[in-house]
Amino acid sequence: MSTRIFGSGIRRREDPRLITGQAKFSADIQLPETTFLVFVRSPHAHARILSVDCEAARAAPGVIRVLTGEDVQLSMPCAWLLPDSDLKTPEHPVLAKDRVRYVGDAVAAVIAETEGQAQDAAELVEVGYELLPAETNPESATTEGASELFDDVPKNVAFRWIAGSDEALVEQAFQDADVVVRERIVQQRLQPTAIEPRAAIAQWNSAAQEMTLWCTSQNPHIHRHVLGLVVGIPDHKLRVISTDVGGGFGSKIPVYADEALVCWASRELARPVKWVETRSENYLVTIHGRDHVEYVEMAATADGTAQAIRGRVYAAMGAYLSTAAPGIPTILHGLMYGGPYTIPLARCESIGVFTNTTPTDAYRGAGRPEATFLMERLMERLANQLGMDPSEIRRKNLIPPFQDGYSSAMGLTYDSGNYAENLDLALEKAAYGKMRASQQRARDEGKLVGIGVTTYNEICGLGPSQVAGAIGFQGGLWESAIVRISATCKVQVMIGTSPHGQGEETTFAQIVASEIGIPVDDIEIIHSDTDRTPMGWGTFGSRTTPVSGAALALATRKIKEKARLLAAHLLEAAADDIEYEDGKFFVKGAPEHHQTIQNLALMATLAWNLPDGMDPGMEASQFYDPPNFVFPFGTHIAQVEVDAETGEVTLQKYVAVDDCGPQINPLIVAGQVQGGVVQGIGQALWEGTVYDDSGQLLTGTLLDYAMPRADHFPYLELAHTETPSPHHPIGVKGVGETGTIASTVTVYNAVMDALRSLGIDQLEMPLSPARVWAAIEEARSGESA
Amino acid sequence: MRPPHFEYQRPQSVEEALRVLAEQPAYKPLAGGHSLIPAMNLRLAQPEGLLDLGRLDDLRGIRFDQNQLRIGALTTHEEVAASPHVRKHCPALSDAASVIGDPQVRAWGTLGGNLAHADPASDPPPVIVACEGTIQLTNQSGSREVAAEDFFIDIFTTATGEGELLTEIIVPSQANRKSAYLKLPHPASRYPVVGVCVVLDWDGVSCSRARVAIGGATGKATRCHQAEGVLTGSDLGEETMRDAERVISAELGDDLLADHYASAEYRRAMAGVFLKRSVKAALG
Amino acid sequence: MEVSIEVNGKTYTKAVEPRTLLVHFLREDLGLTGTNIGCDTSQCGACTVHMDGRALKSCTCLAVQADGRSVTTIEGMAQQGLHPLQQAFWDKHGLQCGYCTPGMIMASAALLKNNPNPTEAEVRHGLEGNLCRCTGYQKIVEAILAAAEGGEE
């Protein structure tokens, strides 16, 4: 079995349990004596609570306890305290006491012997409400006369954050510009819709005073710390297990009130307490993504060179600050103004706004899809205004190739980029010239065919802990890995991140195997159980491979170095004379004098004959605090056709050329890109949260929230370039979110390109058939008038 | 959610089913359950009792007899779609049965259950209405047949009386006609935003008679008599179709359904577009 | 009331409330947690099993309706080794988080049984009743086509 498998598309090691139904998702956990918790949730978006009558519920069959805000005095913290932003952090109670602020806000909880009994009893809880007006739009919620969610948060402004170039310089650039393009963009709210709804089951062991919590978390150690604080359990006595999680996309990063209550209740009852979200509940209570209203503009010279970009973002926070929410439309968004372009000046003002809606937080791309969207819309407008080809205007503005550092206008240091070469590959792969020619022929026949081109970069691999502190993230962003090799040379790797579909049980084994020559099948990656793993910050922001993978690679190299020294000792050679290849350490020039890693592992464990000063065993722990973020990049190209009669958009062609540096497993990378692309196209064409004026969620089930389906897509064509990150031990960048970051605007621009001949300038997403049709009708009636 | 509690009986024969239904008028008949159980899972439907008809094989099956298709109420959509009888004698129903729901729904959902549920956004009703089918309703006293157009009264409301079961769907053969059913699916639910069925007496040159019904657009599957008037006696050419598009849109009046996804105006326009497309599909 | 249901070749007789959904019976009464619940409106397909040889969303069926019938779940798909679809999903990376996968495999098996040599378009349409958020479907489609090519249902 070859161990040269870095770069090989081997089958995943996580799959056997997943394809046979042997996985253990949180809802699968069944413990004796379990009780079931069901929430009573507000049906109103904004109301004062006048009374909560639990009498009938308490008397219902099987009911053990009914809890209200009087019984439970817990509240959930926000863990991203954005500095210099006048951030307001109003209390977020686990069970509402005086006021409810969104449909779904928990008012009471019923615990019973069976889930059915708990659901039946929950319907018997009677809550008296006094309705208040609701705000659902982040822009209008800040206006005079808007209904305020919190008495001490005037005009619902949660924060006001500004970053970038000097205001006067930016203003001057706009004054001096030959061309200014601008747009009001609505980044519609989205429902992440991981196919697994959230669940939590807590088991308190009163003899040991220890809690075990199984829950759907992307970052069990963060859950351990935050829940420990909220519920009052020392963090070394709380074990959080999230081994199999059915998708997250950011929605399982936050620490939720329901998870806290389940822990509290288990300790209170001294019995396991289980809560499993329904999909309808998930749509009300699990965080939503995006929800911006943006005013953006770009100044350029007459030849299409962008000079400055500025924008103001109204970003909905929802009814309460979720765990990471303030950082999403600010650090992860505004700092990417400028993108892969040489724009010398950039400035972003981001205003976080409370609205009577589900709290928002990170959702695949988390701020960067919105940044790429606005960049590419402005580039598109500029191209149209100047009569330039969209790919050419981008080429004109792309940063020239750099391998080790580029300072952006927003103060970031991009690590490496080869944007033009990547663009060339994409244009070649798409046969762009032919695409435009066939588009013209189609147009001559009266068809509405459009092409979109996106060049992007993005910031991920979160990140340097010092930066985390500076930007208000209440945690570090380093990782560590423990690599433990047994006497028989079996490897256990313990990591602090929590893959949930991204494939690190395989790719991390590939890293170890490629570093030290042990077969992949002998390597086990252990994650997502806080008792079995070192502290770490979780899987989000495309950080698992850049950060955790780096720690792992370095730990493995430490072991390799130890092995080399032990080999030298056993072979009675000088350490400098020892060479390594494919699991063997041999004397230079005399390969028959060698030690296998297997034998070295055994010798290290037995410790019968170690060099002076060497510890027994073959185990290494390595921390890695990244010196910088990583910046993957790429080019996407899409072609669509719009049916003018119905407004339906058909995706005809999609090409994605991405660069995440070296690819550990191309099959897994392709899966990430394809999944991300489809998810981003979902935003462009089908998805979108709809609230009515009273704050009722109208897209509350899968009957109304339109998800991408298999028959919506042609074959997605993928290619890649490979530009290593200079500061990463194996040069890899993240790739989990790039697909989503690029695809929304690519398809959007393609549709707008198709509709341009009708004089349609802008449309809100999703570009549903009804919406596109209405725009075409309006444009045509304008024509014939 | 889990459904609320209910009583449950599984009769061994149609007679037994009718007896229970007469004795327990609050019981709801359960066929494939693919409309009822989702409603119960959301606790939007909370029937006192369920009468499980699932094993009554007498109510399943497709016959062709005396120039009529006779489809047992418990016949699944998959069976309807696969039936050579249906493909020959009512191809529009084959079309509808092939696009309703998804493969799993088609394997277990029944035609009778679907029609009895009378969701305005459903595929089979406009086909049965356009083909001038009849619905057989049976109670302990016997059976009666109701014209499809009279069977569908309003949203989730049919002519089924107390103690009555929908037992059979009867469709006169359309084998000598040109027919088709096409829908514009809602992107989430895939229910028809509009679904149009056309049945044409066509000799290759002129249409001597046209029948048109639309679902998804109004509270119930609706015949479009004025649009039929435009098509009847015409050559079904471009100009006729333009007129028909205009007329069907106007004919639908103020009854059009509207929601956050599709406005009444959109449905109005799509009625015309799908009338045109359905005629084109029928002519082949 | 009492039901007798054959699941993966073995008959189980248990008392259930009429309101018990088949998916809950499988997961809770029988401990077969491979079948997953992803929604409450019968859209997502994660709960797909086979009943009497046809694909069924087990959230849209009461356990009492399954009385006397034969059910196959994902746990019953591997007979002498992995079912060809399981193997194909593994080989082609047709899964990421794995939550939709049992339902996807069950639906695919029914698809191939009804149409042993589908085109790519037929496969995509045949997955109308199954949602996946991770993969973007492409490798699922490749897996099903590979299994079909292997000549197995």
B190, closest residue in chain A (CA to CA): A703
**Is C127 in contact with A711 (CB distance < 8 Å)?**
yes
Alpha-carbon distance A652 to nearest alpha carbon in chain C (angstroms): 13
Q: How far apart are CA A650 and CA A448, in angstroms?
A: 11
In this structure, chain A runs to a length of: 785
Binary contact (A686, B187; C-beta < 8 A): yes
Show which of residues 13-32 on chain C sit within 8 Å of chain A, judged by CB atoms. Answer: 17, 19, 27-28, 31-32
Query: What is the pLDDT at residue A4?
Result: 66
Q: Give Cβ neighbours of residue C46 (< 8 Å, ≥ 6 apart).
A: A195, C35, C36, C37, C38, C39, C99, C100, C102, C103, C130, C131
Residue from C17, C62, C71, C100 to probe the interface with B (highest B Cβ count within 10 Å): C62
The partner residue sitting opposite C135, judged by closest CB among A27, A278, A671, is A671
Contact C122/A at CB under 8 A: no
Chain position carrying tokens 């109208």: A698
Strand-pairing partners, residue A453, are A637
Q: What is the mean pLDDT of chain B?
A: 97
Query: What is the pLDDT at residue C150?
Result: 85
In the structure encoding, which two tokens stand for residue B273, read together? 């577009």
Q: How far apart are CA C51 and CA C103, in angstroms?
A: 13
Q: What is the pLDDT of residues A430-476, one digit of tens each?
A: 999 999 999 999 999 999 999 999 999 999 999 999 999 999 999 99
The partner residue sitting opposite C48, judged by closest CB among B4, B104, B189, is B104
Binary contact (C19, B52; C-beta < 8 A): no
Q: Is the pLDDT of residue C152 over 90?
A: no
Binary contact (B10, C64; C-beta < 8 A): yes
Instruction: Collect all residues of chain C within an 8 Å Cβ-Cβ radius of residue B3.
Output: 19, 21
CA atoms within 13 A on the CB side of A332: 31
Query: What is the pLDDT at residue A23?
Result: 98
CATH 3.30.365.10 spans which residues of chain A? 414-460+631-785, 463-624
The partner residue sitting opposite B42, judged by closest CB among C17, C40, C130, is C40
Contact B189/A at CB under 8 A: yes
**Is A533 in contact with A42 (CB distance < 8 Å)?**
no
Return the number of other C-beta atoms located less than 10 Å from residue B254's C-beta: 6
A404-424 per-residue burial string, b: 16 or more CB within 10 A, e: under 16: eebebbbebebbbbbbbbbbb
In the structure encoding, which two tokens stand for residue A766, read together? 């999703």
E strand or H helix that includes residue A299: strand A292-300
B36, closest residue in chain C (CA to CA): C60
Q: What is the pLDDT of residues C32-90, one digit of tens each?
A: 999 999 999 999 999 999 999 999 999 999 999 999 999 999 999 998 899 999 999 99
Per-state percent for chain A, helix, strand, coil, to nearest 5: 30, 25, 40
Give the residues of chain B that fall short of pLDDT 70.
none
Q: How far apart are CA B86 and CA B107, in angstroms?
A: 17
Q: What is the pLDDT of residues B44-74, one digit of tens each?
A: 999 999 999 999 999 999 999 999 999 999 9
Q: How far apart are CA B206 and CA B201, in angstroms?
A: 8
Strand order across the A210-215 sheet: A63-68, A106-112, A35-41, A273-276, A199-205, A210-215, A238-241
Q: What φ, ψ does residue A350 adopt, rounded to 5°?
A: -125, 125
C56, closest residue in chain B (CA to CA): B104
Q: How far apart are CA A6 and CA A664, in angstroms?
A: 5
Report CA-CA distances (Å) from A261 to A67, A76, A220, A285.
Answer: 10, 10, 16, 14
Binary contact (A707, B269; C-beta < 8 A): no
B201-216 per-residue burial string, b: 16 or more CB within 10 A, e: under 16: ebeeeebeebbbbbbb
Report CA-CA distances (Å) from B239 to A590, B22, B235, B281, C111.
Answer: 91, 55, 9, 17, 43
Nearest CA among A625, A600, A613 for reference residue A481: A625
Instruction: Collect all residues of chain B within an 8 Å Cβ-Cβ radius of residue C1.
Output: 8
Binary contact (A503, C86; C-beta < 8 A): no
Q: How far apart are CA A450 and CA A434, in angstroms?
A: 13
Output the pTM of the full model: 0.97
Nearest CA among A498, A535, A517 for reference residue A579: A517
E strand or H helix that includes residue A279: helix A279-285
Instruction: Collect all residues of chain A within an 8 Å Cβ-Cβ radius of residue C130.
Output: 710
- CATH architecture of the domain A414-460+631-785 equals 2-Layer Sandwich (3.30)
Instruction: Collect all residues of chain B within an 8 Å Cβ-Cβ radius of residue A681.
Output: none
- What is the amino acid identity at position B74? L
Report CA-CA distances (Å) from B8 to A269, A679, C63.
Answer: 35, 43, 12
Query: What is the pLDDT at residue A243?
Result: 85
Per-state percent for chain C, helix, strand, coil, to nearest 5: 40, 20, 45
Report CA-CA distances (Å) from C67 to C5, C21, C50.
Answer: 5, 12, 14
Q: What is the pLDDT of residues A536-595, one digit of tens each?
A: 999 999 999 999 999 999 999 999 999 999 999 999 999 999 999 999 999 999 989 999
Query: What is the pLDDT at residue A783?
Result: 66
The partner residue sitting opposite B33, judged by closest CB among C54, C55, C65, is C65
In the structure encoding, which two tokens stand for residue A573, read together? 């050679």
Please classify residue A59 by burial: count the beta carbons closer than 10 Å to its beta carbon, then call 0-12 exposed, 13-18 middle and 19+ buried. exposed
The CATH number fitting domain A463-624, selected from 3.30.365.10, 3.50.30.40, 3.30.110.30, 1.10.1740.10? 3.30.365.10
Task: Please report the DSSP string for A112-152 in residue order.
Answer: ESSHHHHHHHHTT-EEEEEE------TTGGGSTTPPPSSTT
* Residue ranges of domains in chain C, CATH in brackets: 2-76 (3.10.20.30), 84-149 (1.10.150.120)
The partner residue sitting opposite A768, judged by closest CB among B5, B187, B273, is B187
Give the residues of chain A that fall short of pLDDT 50.
1-3, 785
Q: How far apart are CA B276 and CA B238, in angstroms?
A: 9
Instruction: Collect all residues of chain B within an 8 Å Cβ-Cβ radius of residue C42.
Output: 34, 37-38, 41, 105
Binary contact (C137, A247; C-beta < 8 A): no
Query: What is the pLDDT at residue B21?
Result: 96
User: What is the radius of gyration, based on Cα positions, of chain A?
Assistant: 27
Contact B104/C at CB under 8 A: yes
Max Cα separation, chain B?
Answer: 60
- CA A590, distance to chain mean position in Å, is 51
Q: How far apart are CA B104 and CA B99, in angstroms?
A: 12
In the structure encoding, which two tokens stand for residue A656, read together? 């994605």
Q: How far apart are CA C23 and CA C45, in angstroms?
A: 12
Q: How far apart are CA B63 and CA B69, in angstroms?
A: 6
Instruction: Collect all residues of chain A within an 8 Å Cβ-Cβ radius of residue B266.
Output: 770, 773-774
Task: Please report the DSSP string for B217-228 in residue order.
Answer: SSSS-EE-HHHH
Contact B41/C at CB under 8 A: yes
